[in-house]
Structure 1
Amino acid sequence: MLPTQTGYQIISYLKSIEDAYSNSNEISIELVEAGRTDEDRPLVYLTVTAKSSLKTQKPLVIIEAGINPREWITVPSAINIIDKIVQEDQKNFLQNLQWIIIPVLNPDGYEYTHTNLRLWTKSRSTRSSLGPICPGVNINRNFDIDWLFSDTSSSPCSHLYGGVEAFSEPETKMIKNLIEKYGRTIQLYISLQNNGRFISYPWQYERAASGMFRQHHLLGLEMTSAMGDDYVLDVGSVALGDRASGTSTDYAMDNGVLYTFNINIEKEGVSGVIIPGNEIKPIAENVWNAVAIAAKSIMKRNANTKS
Structure 2
Amino acid sequence: MLRYSYVILFLCIYAVVAGKHDVYKGYSVHGIKLTNATHKEFIHSLELELDLDVWQHGTPKLRDAMVMVSRENTVSLMEKLDTMGLDHYVHLRDVAQAFEEHDLEISAWKRGRSNVLPFEDYPRYAEVDAYLEKVAQEHPDIVTLVNAGPSFEGRAIKYVKISTSNFADTSKPIYFLTATVHAREWVVTPAALYMIQRLVDRRPEDQDLLDSMDWIILPMINPDGYEYSHTTMRLWRRTRSFRPEISSSCYGADGNRNYDAAFASVGVSSNPCSDIYPGPSAFSEVETSYVRDIMQANLQRIQIFMDIHSYGNYITYGFGDARLSPNVAQQHHVAAIMGAAIDPYKLPQAPYYVVGNSNLLMYETSGCAQDYAQTIGIPLSYTLELPEYGFDFRVPPSYIGQINSETWHGVAASARAAVLYYRARN
TM-score by length of 2: 0.67
2:177 aligns with 63
- Return the match for 2:255 from 123, 139, 148: 139
Contact 1:52-1:95 at 8 Å conserved across structures: no
Kindly report which structure 2 residues correspond to 1:60-99, keeping only aligned pairs within 5 A, or say none: 60-86=174-200, 87-89=202-204, 90-99=206-215
- Return the match for 2:375 from 254, 263, 278: 254
- Verify: 1:282 aligned to 2:402, yes or no: yes
Pair 1:207–1:52, CA change in 2 (3 A): closer
Q: Following the alignment from structure 1 to structure 2, what is the Cα–Cα distance between the partners of residues 54 and 95?
A: 13
Secondary structure of 2:275's aligned partner:
coil
Pair 1:59–1:300, CA change in 2 (3 A): same
Q: Following the alignment from structure 2 to structure 1, what is the Cα–Cα distance between the partners of residues 278 and 423?
A: 40
Kindly report which structure 2 residues correspond to 1:164-175, keeping only aligned pairs within 5 A, or say none: 164-175=280-291
Which string of whole-angstrom CA distances, capped at 9 and with x for unpartnered residues, describes residues 178-224 of structure 1?
A: 121111311000010113011111111x1232111111112211111
Pair 1:237–1:15, CA change in 2 (3 A): same
- Return the match for 1:19 from 137, 140, 154: 137
Q: How far 1:93 sits from its partner (Å)?
A: 1.2
1:295 aligns with 415
Q: Gaps spanning 5+ residues in structure 2: where?
A: 1-118, 344-350
- Verify: 1:51 aligned to 2:173, yes or no: no
Contact 1:45-1:100 at 8 Å conserved across structures: yes
- Verify: 1:104 aligned to 2:220, yes or no: yes
Q: Following the alignment from structure 2 to structure 1, what is the Cα–Cα distance between the partners of residues 245 and 311?
A: 30
Task: Count residues with an aligned counterpart.
Answer: 299
Contact 2:334-2:418 at 8 Å conserved across structures: no
Q: Following the alignment from structure 1 to structure 2, what is the Cα–Cα distance between the partners of residues 93 and 115?
A: 38
Contact 1:128-1:164 at 8 Å conserved across structures: no
* Higher mean C-alpha displacement, 97-106 vs 48-57: 48-57
Q: Following the alignment from structure 1 to structure 2, what is the Cα–Cα distance between the partners of residues 97 and 105?
A: 23
Q: Following the alignment from structure 2 to structure 1, what is the Cα–Cα distance between the partners of residues 423 and 369?
A: 28
* Higher CA-based Rg: 2
Equivalent AA in structure 2 for residue 115 of structure 1? T
Q: Following the alignment from structure 1 to structure 2, what is the Cα–Cα distance between the partners of residues 258 and 58?
A: 15
Which string of whole-angstrom CA distances, capped at 9 and with x for unpartnered residues, describes residues 218-243 of structure 1?
A: 22111111121611111110121x21
Pair 1:208–1:9, CA change in 2 (3 A): same
Contact 2:318-2:357 at 8 Å conserved across structures: yes
Equivalent AA in structure 2 for residue 253 of structure 1? Q
- Verify: 1:239 aligned to 2:361, yes or no: yes
Equivalent AA in structure 1 for residue 132 of structure 2? L
Contact 1:184-1:258 at 8 Å conserved across structures: no
Contact 2:175-2:214 at 8 Å conserved across structures: yes
Q: How far 1:37 sits from its partner (Å)?
A: 1.0
- Verify: 1:193 aligned to 2:309, yes or no: yes
Secondary structure of 1:146's aligned partner:
coil
Q: Following the alignment from structure 2 to structure 1, what is the Cα–Cα distance between the partners of residues 244 and 168?
A: 43
Equivalent AA in structure 1 for residue 245 of structure 2? S
Structure with bigger RCO (C-alpha 8 Å, 6+ apart): 1
1:225 aligns with 340
Identity of aligned residues (%): 28
Pair 1:30–1:2, CA change in 2 (3 A): farther
Q: How far 1:69 sits from its partner (Å)?
A: 0.8
Q: Following the alignment from structure 1 to structure 2, what is the Cα–Cα distance between the partners of residues 175 and 40?
A: 17
Contact 1:268-1:274 at 8 Å conserved across structures: no
Equivalent AA in structure 1 for residue 311 of structure 2? N
Secondary structure of 2:144's aligned partner:
strand
* Higher mean C-alpha displacement, 11-20 vs 258-267: 258-267
Q: How far 1:132 sits from its partner (Å)?
A: 4.9
Contact 1:32-1:45 at 8 Å conserved across structures: yes
2:388 aligns with 267
Pair 1:30–1:285, CA change in 2 (3 A): same
2:80 aligns with none
Secondary structure of 1:47's aligned partner:
strand
Secondary structure of 1:51's aligned partner:
coil
Which string of whole-angstrom CA distances, capped at 9 and with x for unpartnered residues, describes residues 64-102 of structure 1?
A: 100111001111111111111222312211121111101
- Verify: 1:4 aligned to 2:122, yes or no: yes
Equivalent AA in structure 1 for residue 197 of structure 2? D
Q: How far 1:131 sits from its partner (Å)?
A: 4.4
